[in-house]
Every structure is written in structure tokens, then in C-alpha cells.
Amino acid sequence: MKEFELKYGCNPNQKPARIFMENGADLPIEILSGRPGYINFLDAFNSWQLVKEIKQATGKVAATSFKHVSPTSAAIGRKLSEKLKKACFVDDIEGLDDSPLACAYARARGTDRMSSFGDWIALSDECDLTTAKIIAREVSDGVIAPSYAPDALELLKTKRKGAYNIVKIDPSYVPQERERKQVFGITFEQGRNNFKIDRDLLKNIVTKNKDLPDDKAEDMIIALITLKYTQSNSVCFAVDGQAIGVGAGQQSRIHCTRLAAQKADLWHLRQHEKVLGLVFADGVGRPDKNNIIDLYLSDVDSEDVLGENVWRQYFAVKPEPFTRAEKDAYLASIKGVTLASDAFFPFFDNIEKAAKSGVSYVCEPGGSIRDDLVIEAADRHNMVMAFTGMRLFHH
């Protein structure tokens, strides 16, 4: 296939629209179902690069959930605890523990379900049936993978009455070294960002605490590769092989950190026994459950948010009160989280904010005139901080 005609571009008025190879070569994809659009393909090609690089860097299968050209999360295929299965709404998926790829997508989708509603999915390896079962029941725009098991493809083709977007990509495809795009009729050209992110990048530890275990280095690598394909400015929190909070596209880095921290805090709170013990009424779907849980975990006491009309409509049993003080105490017990930034921290306020969300490990390029103050703040909290020396802006 030399080109693919799109229904329209970013918006319905932007016609005509197509994707094609400037050198006249065949596109490295096969569309197995549906008719992906302009934004779908932007998500597909960015998300595929992300999972491919995580697989290359860690040697483990990876998945990501993308929305509007930024990842909501990315994860490798580690098994989920029983608490995390329930928090991610996958405790009923048979065979989950036997599919690393399904575990990876369950983590990625379950991190920030509100942002992932209507996501684009990328899988580093062949989509198996267990992964397809999770995808089939979620609200999603499409998926890209190097291949699909026959039974997985058969199931996915039933989604959206056969109109679900399923894209197969050639895993051996290597793009040209120079990339181009147009803005306002003017062509921009640059070399591709082929910068390799691996353990060697983390050797320059600038804090007094220099103890960086392998699993925490892996979290750093996952967070940095996630940032490489996130609209800048961006900050990423990670733990246990997955991104748990992405703050993307903010003009101020502290706003990136606050946004990512808020999402990471919600991810932790969703695994609290009071949340896992919520008893919803019959017929309440996953999107509604997710929205109500977010209300339950808001910055005010749960009783002030969930009035009698709400709990009677959505719950079979009245929820236990969850006070702001209880939430704060639970979050204060969290440690071992990793924070990565796509550019240097200009002020130490980012470190102070991160410390309140359990961050113990930090990686960032360094190079600020206030690096000494940032390092000093990290030392106050006994953090391990590595300077990578490389900015990861993505626009």
C-alpha cells in the first residue's frame, strides 16, 4: 500500500488528508480492520516507537495507552498484585498471570482510566487472546501491534460492529534519519531523535545517596522513554515497571510535576482498602465506577462529595467515609517512587512536591543554574538523583 486516504485531518474541515511515504515506498503497515484517522495514526506511530524502545531497553514486553499524542501510561509485563488487579478492573480476567502482554496493558490502561477513555493502544509483541479480551471491553479507538494471534484478531474484529481500528506494523521498519513536517506552509527538517536510553545513562548520580537498585533503574528507563514520546514540557512518575502519572504539555515544569503527582497519588489511593471495598450497585459500568471513585478520592472528605442521592444511585452499600486526613496519612506512607523530567528542574519546588508523593528516585538532564539547590533539596529527602545530560523534548 503506497498511501492511505483519510476521512479528514485533525478536524472535519481539513480535507483532503492522507498518509504516504515521500520516497514512494510502501507504507510499513497493514490495516486489518476499521479506518483509522489522522490523529489515530499520530497516536499509533508515536506509541509504537515507545513500546518498541521499552522492549529493546528492558528486554520485556511493553504496552502503552495513548490519548492525543501523549501516553497516559506505559508499562512492562509484570504480574499484578490482587489489589492492583481489582483497582485496574481486571480481577475477573482469566489467565491474566500467564500473559505478560496482558499484564502490561492492564497496568497501562488502569493507571489513569479517565484519561485512557477512548485510547489508542500499542503493544510491543503479538497480541494474544487474553490481551484482546481486555481491549475488547474497553472504550478504545484502536490498536497497533507487530502481529495478532488468530483468535485475538477474530475477537477484536467484533468490536464496534467490525469497525474497530486494528493496525499491523512491520517491526523491522526503520525510518529515514531525517524527518520533516510543515507548519504554516514552511517545511521543518531535523534528524530523528535516535538517542538511546539505557542503564549507562544513569551513571552520573549527583546526590549523596548513590544506591540505585536495578529495578529502580528500570523504572527510570521506562519513565524516560515515556517522556521521549510525550508532548513537552513533561514529567513522569513511575513505580514497579510502569508509569503511574504523566504530566504533559504544560508551560511550567512545576505544573507538570503537580499534574503528574496528582495522577500518581490517585493511582496509589485506588489501591486503598476503602476503595477496593466499595460495593457498587448492579449494572454500574466501569466508566461510571471510575468516575465515582475519582469523586470519592477528591481533595475533600468523601461524605462532602458523595451525597445521599449519589451513593443510593451507584452503591449497593453506603461507602465508608474517607477523610482528607486519612488520604494524606496513606500517601505519606508511600516510598520508592521514581520521578523523571524531560528537561532540567529550574527550581527546587519540584523536588519538594515530588517528596510529598513518595518520590525516592529522580532522573533529569541537569544543566540549570540552580542545580545546586535542586541537589540540596534531593539530599534533604535522601533521594537518589541521576543527571542524564540529555533533554527529551517532543513536539
Residues assigned a catalytic role: 67-68, 233, 395
Instruction: Name the grid cell of 305.
Output: 462529595
3-state secondary structure of 237: strand
Start-end of H helices in 4-89? 38-58, 82-87
User: In whole angstroms, what is the distance from residue 88 CA to residue 5 CA?
Assistant: 37
User: In whole angstroms, what is the distance from residue 46 CA to residue 142 CA?
Assistant: 13
In this structure, what is the dihedral angle of CA atoms 381, 220, 227, 172, given to the nearest 10 degrees? 180
Q: Closest by alpha carbon to 335, among 263, 278, 384?
A: 384
Instruction: Name the grid cell of 394.
Output: 517532543
With DSSP H G I counted as helix, E B as strand and the rest as coil, what are the percentages for the chain, rounded to 5?
Answer: 40, 20, 40
Tell how far CA 262 is from the center of its chain: 14
Start-end of H helices in 59-213? 82-87, 100-111, 113-116, 129-136, 150-156
Return the H-helix or E-strand segment holding 2: none
Report DSSP state, residue 178.
Answer: E
**Single-letter code of the amino acid located at 212:** L
Are 50 and 222 in contact by the 8 Å Cβ rule? The answer is no
User: In whole angstroms, what is the distance from residue 247 CA to residue 45 CA?
Assistant: 21
Return the H-helix or E-strand segment holding 244: strand 242-248
User: In whole angstroms, what is the distance from residue 358 CA to residue 352 CA?
Assistant: 10
Crossing angle (nearest 10°) for helices 129-136 and 100-111:
20
**Single-letter code of the amino acid located at 273:** E
